[in-house]
A and B are shown apart, each in its own frame.
Chain A
Amino acid sequence: MPSDSIPSANLHPAHLTTGSNVIRLGGIGIILLCVAGTFFYLGGWLTPHELTPARFADEFEQVGGIHSGFRLNHAKGLGVSGFFESNGQGARLSKADVFRMGRVPVIGRFSLSGGNPYQADAPDTVRGLGLQFRLPDGEEWRTAMVNLPVFPFNNPQGFFDNLVASQPDPETHKPDPEKMAAFLANHPETVQAGKILKGFAKSSGFDNSTFNSLNAFRFVDASGASIPVRWSMVPAQQFESASAPGPAQGDKNYLFYALIASISQHPLQWHLIVTLGQTGDRTDDASIPWPEGRERVDVGTLTLDSAESEATSPARDINFDPLILPDGIAASDDPLLSARSAVYSQSFTRRAGEKKEPSAISPSDVRK
């Protein structure tokens, strides 16, 4: 540090009165408070009723209970791995490397919706499939899909309000039907989607389920042009209805056990089908299906050839954030996408620091 000083005579202007010093000091205080206040405002401290990722996560914990080390939603799951083989058909739609002819390794996770990691498998519970495609140069594509044809909500508030309405009553341990009725009265999109969801035929297991992206995305080609898309993983395995007499449905883990048995017999395959949206198709509303007859392109085959308990699978520690996208796939204007990214990240951060309790499907279940 320099030690020589500037001659002080140059610098001392007229002396200030005490009063003017107090005013200046007050001014400095106000400036600093304004800066700090702006930051508190940006951090949501002044708007305690606004929806934040943390408040979302708290509500999930209210409804599903706190389960150390598990996801807030889709808590029960099983890790899988395999590869995706692109047939090159997607390359004209998106410049993402994953659509060039060839193979990329995939890690995945099958799951059931709900915050309870030990819930009993049931045919009506929403099934999920999260996938991580690892592209050759270090880029990644992650997607989290479910077996519903449309999503019952079209914005984060609807999802949150539904969560609040489905909170079990402390006395009856069941959701209050009046609260749910009030929710539905305010959310016609959920009622509308419910009609479609009622008619959809559920399959007997994970292996013959179709998994849908639900949200719209955009594929960007090499010239920079983009088109709206939705995608589905359509099983090569034969469809069987969930209502047909199948494997021991009495078993608490029958869906996962059937998946393990099936994958150990032969690799399971799904076709990645990309549906191309047209002008006027809603990209910002996951509760509305696109009209029939949209062009569907089969861009390649997903092969899953090994299952692993969460105790050892890398899938447990992957956040299947739907906005982790390679160059060539972009978010649409669907407000659920940023919300999913934000809340998944919150869920991931919470469970990352928690002690990991054993999963329902243990390593010995997988070896059987």
Chain B
Amino acid sequence: MDSGRRQFTASMRFLHWLMAALVLAMLGIGIAMVASISDYHRLVSLHRPLGILILILVVIRFVNRRFSTLPPFPPTMSSQERYVASASELLLYTLLFVQPLVGWGMLSAARYPIVMFGSVHLPPILPHNVMLYAMLRTTHTVLAYLLFLTFLAHFGAVLFHTLIVRDGTFSRMAPWRVRAR
């Protein structure tokens, strides 16, 4: 068996780790900024462009995945486990796509300018409607917690497989190249 089949492709692994870092940073920035007085502005100014970057990356990642050959699941995983793993992957993809859109939409409904950096900004994607804003603002928080819980479950499952079942789950997505033994 060649190593290409044991691991996700290099581009998939690169996108995975890049997005992992970005998403974790975003969850941290998001939860910190809503509770912050002194760093609020700095954090919000970072949150907006990072969110849009994640939206772009998740689209690239989804397309890249469609055109890539995936490595098989470890044989230690039962069919139920495989089902749960696939479903949680789908949930993560969906959240990573929807959450930035909700953020963009809620700023649009509040008629906040959607500043990326300098004078670069995005157009509004929804009409000015503060009730709609309030709804999307709550949705953004709920999705953030859901995303965080999904991340914890994903992280916990990988740790469990790697440290206890020891079936090489981590090496499938390891940032470095793992050779077949």
A binds B: yes
The residues of A with any CB-CB pair to B shorter than 8 Å are 1-8, 10-13, 16, 21, 24-25, 27-28, 31-32, 35-36, 38-39, 42-44, 50-54, 56, 97, 137-140, 156, 314, 317-319, 321, 323-324, 326-327, 331, 335, 337-339, 341-343, 345, 348-349, 351-353
Q: How far is the CB of A344 from chain B (nearest CB, A)?
A: 10
Is B40 interfacial (CB-CB < 8 Å)?
yes
Q: Is A39 within 8 A of B37, CB to CB? A: no
Q: Give the number of A-B contacts (CB < 8 Å).
A: 151
For A2, give its contact among B70, B111, B137, B160 (CB under 8 Å). B70
Closest B residue, CB atoms, query A140: B113
List 6 additional contacts besides A28-B160, A39-B28, A353-B134; criterion CB under 8 Å. A1-B82, A53-B40, A317-B128, A338-B40, A341-B41, A343-B37
Residues of chain A within 8 A (CB-CB) of B148 are 39
Known: A11-B167, A36-B152. A353 touches B32 (CB 8 A): no
Which residue in chain B gives the minimum CB-CB distance to A353?
B134
Q: In the complex, are the beta carbons of A139 and B113 less than 8 A apart?
A: yes
Interface contact B71-A2, CB-CB below 8 Å:
yes
B38's partner among A10, A21, A327, A335 (CB-CB below 8 A) is A335
Question: Which one of B48-56, B73-81, B94-102 is at the interface?
Answer: B73-81
The answer on a CB contact under 8 Å between B118 and A21 is no
Give B29's nearest chain A residue, CB to CB.
Answer: A42
Q: How far is the CB of B143 from chain A (nearest CB, A)?
A: 15
How many residues on chain B are close to A (CB under 8 Å)? Answer: 56
Which of B71, B137, B160 has a CB less than 8 Å from the CB of A352? B137
In the complex, what's the smallest C-beta–C-beta distance from A78 to chain B, in angstroms?
A: 18
CA of A314 to CA of B111, assembled, Å: 10
Q: Is the CB of B75 within 8 A of A342?
A: no
In the docked arrangement, what's the CA distance between A3 and B82, Å? Answer: 10
| 7 A-B interface contacts by CB (under 8 A) | A4-B72, A6-B6, A52-B37, A140-B113, A317-B111, A335-B38, A341-B44
B173: chain A residues within 8 A (beta carbon): none
Shortest C-beta distance, B157 to chain A (Å), equals: 10
B63 within 8 A of A: no
Distance in Å from the Cβ of B50 to the closest Cβ of chain A?
15
Contact residues in B for A343 (Cβ distance below 8 Å): 37
B58 at interface, CB cutoff 8 A: no
Interface residues as binary, B148-181 with A (CB distance below 8 Å gives 1, 0 otherwise) = 1000100110011001101110000000000011
B135 interface neighbour in A4, A24, A353, Cβ under 8 Å: A353
Q: Quick check: B118 and A43 within 8 Å, CB to CB?
A: no
Q: Do A352 and B131 contact each other (CB < 8 Å), given the known contacts A6-B72, A8-B75, A319-B112?
A: yes
CB distance B37 to A156 under 8 Å? yes
Q: Min CB distance, B149 to chain A, in Å? A: 9
Residue of B nearest to A316 (CB): B130
- A158 CB to closest chain B CB (Å) equals 12
Residue of B nearest to A337 (CB): B41
Report whether B28 and A12 are in contact in the complex, using a CB–CB cutoff of 8 Å. no
B128 to A138, Cβ gap below 8 A? no
Residue B35 is within 8 A (CB to CB) of chain A in the complex: yes
Most buried by A among B27, B40, B148, B156: B40
Q: Which 9 A-B pairs have the closest CB atoms?
A: A353-B134, A44-B35, A342-B40, A327-B119, A352-B130, A43-B31, A5-B75, A352-B134, A42-B32
Asked if B156 contacts A42 (CB within 8 A), the reply is: no
Task: Determine the residue in chain B with the shortest Cβ distance to A134.
Answer: B113
Mask of B7-36 contacts with A, CB within 8 angstroms, 1/0: 000000000000000000001100110111
* B74: contacting residue among A11, A28, A314, CB under 8 A: A11
In the assembly, what is the distance between CA of A44 and CA of B40, in Å?
Answer: 13
| List of B residues within 8 angstroms of A5 by Cβ | 72-75
| Given A140-B113, A326-B119, A338:B39 Cβ within 8 A | yes
B34 in complex: contacting residue of A13, A24, A43, CB < 8 Å: A43
Given contacts A323-B41, A339-B37, contact A32 B152 (CB under 8 A): yes
Contact A53 B35 (CB under 8 A): yes
Query: Quick one: closest A residue to B24, CB to CB?
Result: A35
B180: chain A residues at CB < 8 Å are: 10
> B134–A349 contact, CB under 8 A?
yes
- Find chain A residues with CB under 8 A from B131 CB: 352-353
Asked if A6 and B1 make an inter-chain contact with CB atoms under 8 angstroms apart, the answer reads yes
- Cβ of B42 within 8 Å of any chain A Cβ, yes or no, is yes
Which of A25, A35, A314 contacts B155 (CB under 8 A)?
A35
* Docked-complex contact A32 and B155, CB < 8 angstroms: yes
- In the bound complex, do residue A324 and residue B72 qualify as a contact, i.e. CB atoms below 8 Å apart? no
Task: Kindly state the separation between the CA atoms of A337 and B72 in the bound complex, as whole angstroms.
Answer: 53
**B74 and A348 contacting across the interface, CB-CB below 8 Å:** no
Q: Which of B1, B27, B115, B148 has the most C-beta atoms of chain A within 10 angstroms of its own C-beta?
A: B115
